[in-house]
Structure 1
């Protein structure tokens, strides 16, 4: 233990080099957040209101949409505050809260497995992917994600903090938190590295293997139209996976990750704001059922002639 003042809160710097652009950036982020809430909330409402969409993949999409609402909600308010307040303080438990939605990657694994069964094992799919299995897979994704992050959070929150409480980021990254601890954190750093190596490449490897099998099955279809139709059902998921893992791999697995903090913060913004904003549109564009349900929900009711209304009443 080293001498120093005990820390009870952290200071988030956000983007200190954006002098003169705070108001425009605040408006852009605020509008993006509202669109994220509206898009993901509308997708959940449409799926639950339309019986034709109450299928396993749409159930998993609702789970993903809930996470895409939760994660920005834990990060964007403080990010917006850094543009309008000179000193953005955050308590230590609140600082660790954004770590929780780590099971987005786990739900992507579940969705990859669902695609694999639907395309590679179509005859077994109805009897295999039952409602009980869907619920079990969704709950498992939450349990696995929360267990990994909760163990990390439980260890971090017990640390004594007495170092520099200024974090040069718009949310509490694990690295700066460990630097503020006034005790040896080598074990925690090793556990964090092990969790990162297991979760990120492991989930990406499972997704890659699933789509290698899917691609092999698609190539065996003799009709080009059939190949295109089946592949289009996977295009949305592949796009979302590419956005998520592209940003994550760029931040954590490149050699210059610690020397390009500004680039990391920009990529973090894309992962925090852009991905949750685009996912509702990505999954809607290629899904005819969702588009039909959306048109049905937004269609104005037809105006009947008074005589027709009287006839309906009779």
Structure 2
């Protein structure tokens, strides 16, 4: 009987904001504009990091990876969400749901590790400046970034396969605007404890542990900066990591707020709107923060822009 129920599932219905048509019409232009800014801003960061030789450093290599992550993360759900905001038929195929679930889990998980790697890079640059070129070699940068992408992809594929192999029965309405794994698990009609254990272990490995590593790195960085004799030297040292610190505070601050606030028995539409805005706003703000807080990025962008115009 379980096999029959499982094989009959060809698509899911994404509830989203179907009960609030006026809100859908408001979110469509808002999310469209923010998604466009996300694509343009992060693409610009990647382009500048590649085209300007002065930015061929570990810091900007990881920043380029972060920008690619933001593009991939938002692209896993925003285009389909925009279509659903204007459509009465809000469906996604079973395979499409699995792909969306896996990619969103992978990109979100990778960002947690990448922010920790970037904190380690800033620690070496400020606390071990003389040995920094040796310690943070190009090979190590590739290894760290590749390991973060690869491990999180394997983890997410495992979680997705376990979740999607469960028998689904009853209604196929996912109470979310994407195939979020916890929302999909609520539709399963068998024991989901194995999937929940995997998710719990993954959450522990990718949230508190990287955050603790980041806090330790910045504690050591702050201690080193305070020992710098001149005020100008302290400002210069802090400016090299202020943008990354702002991104970390934004990312983890919102995540902690979302998951640590008291849960009500009934879902509120305000929580869903906040989730949408968090998922779209954070990737949009990352390139803005790095552009405003980093003189090297602004100067490199100006050079690339002037070079492109003079070549015409």
TM-score (norm 2): 0.90
Farther-moved stretch of structure 1 (204-213 vs 159-168): 159-168
Once residues 57 and 26 of structure 2 are traced to their aligned partners in structure 1, the CA distance between those partners, rounded to angstroms, is 41
2-side partners of 1:262 and 1:120: how far apart?
46
Contact 1:15-1:82 within 8 A present in 2 as well? no
What 5-or-longer segments of structure 2 have no aligned partner? none
Give the direction of change, closer, same or farther, for the CA distance of 1:21–1:278 in structure 2 (3 Å limit): same
**Equivalence for 1:9:** 11
Q: Partner residue of 2:39?
A: 37
Q: Does structure 2 conserve the Cα–Cα contact (< 8 Å) formed by 1:78 and 1:170?
A: no
Q: CA offset at residue 115 of structure 1?
A: 0.4
Question: Does residue 252 of structure 2 align to residue 250 of structure 1?
Answer: no
- Stretch deviating more after TM superposition (107-116 or 15-24): 15-24
Change (3 A) 1:195 1:258: farther
Instruction: Give the equivalent residue in structure 2 for 1:209.
Output: 216
Among 28, 31, 50, the alignment partner of 2:30 is 28
* Secondary structure at 2:310 match in 1: coil
CA pair 243-259 structure 1, distance change in 2 beyond 3 A: farther
Q: Secondary structure of 2:166's match?
A: coil
Matched, 1:172 2:179: yes
Residue pair 2:52, 2:304 contacting (<8 A) in 1 also: no
- Work out which of the two has the higher radius of gyration on C-alpha atoms and give 1 or 2: 1
1:138 aligns with 2:145: yes
* The 10-residue stretch of structure 1 (223-232 or 10-19) with the greater mean CA deviation from structure 2: 10-19
Matched, 1:278 2:285: yes
Cα contact 2:51–2:304 (8 A) shared by 1: no
Shift of 1:264: 3.5
Write out per-residue CA displacement over residues 265-306 of structure 1, whole angstroms, 9 at most, x where no aligned residue.
233223321111111111111222211121122234399xxx
Counterpart mapping for 1:47-62 below 5 A: 47-62=49-64
Does residue 111 of structure 2 align to residue 104 of structure 1?
A: yes
SS in 2 for 1:272: helix
Residues in 2 aligned to 1:41 and 1:143: alpha-carbon distance in whole angstroms: 22
Report the alpha carbon displacement of residue 69 of structure 1 after superposing the two structures with TM: 0.6
Return the alpha-carbon distance in structure 1 between the equivalents of residues 264 and 255 of structure 2.
Answer: 11
The alignment yields a C-alpha RMSD, in angstroms, of 2.1
More divergent stretch after superposition (140-149 vs 93-102): 93-102
Q: What's the counterpart of residue 93 of structure 1?
A: 95
> How far has the Cα of 1:123 moved from its partner?
1.1
Counterpart of 1:267 (choices 274, 280, 288) is 274
Q: CA contact under 8 A between 1:13 and 1:82: conserved in structure 2?
A: no
Quick one: distance in 2 between partners of 1:288 and 1:267?
32
* Structure 1, unaligned runs of 5 or more: 304-314
Pick the aligned partner of 1:301 from 283, 286, 310: 310
Give TM-score, length-normalised by structure 1.
0.90
Q: Which residue of 1 aligns with 2:191?
A: 184
Whole-angstrom CA distance in 1 between matches of 2:165 and 2:127? 47
Q: 1:137 to 1:257 in 2, by over 3 A?
A: farther
1:116 maps to 123
Is contact 2:17-2:23 (8 Å) kept? no
Alpha-carbon distance change, 59 to 255 in structure 1, aligned in 2, over 3 angstroms: same
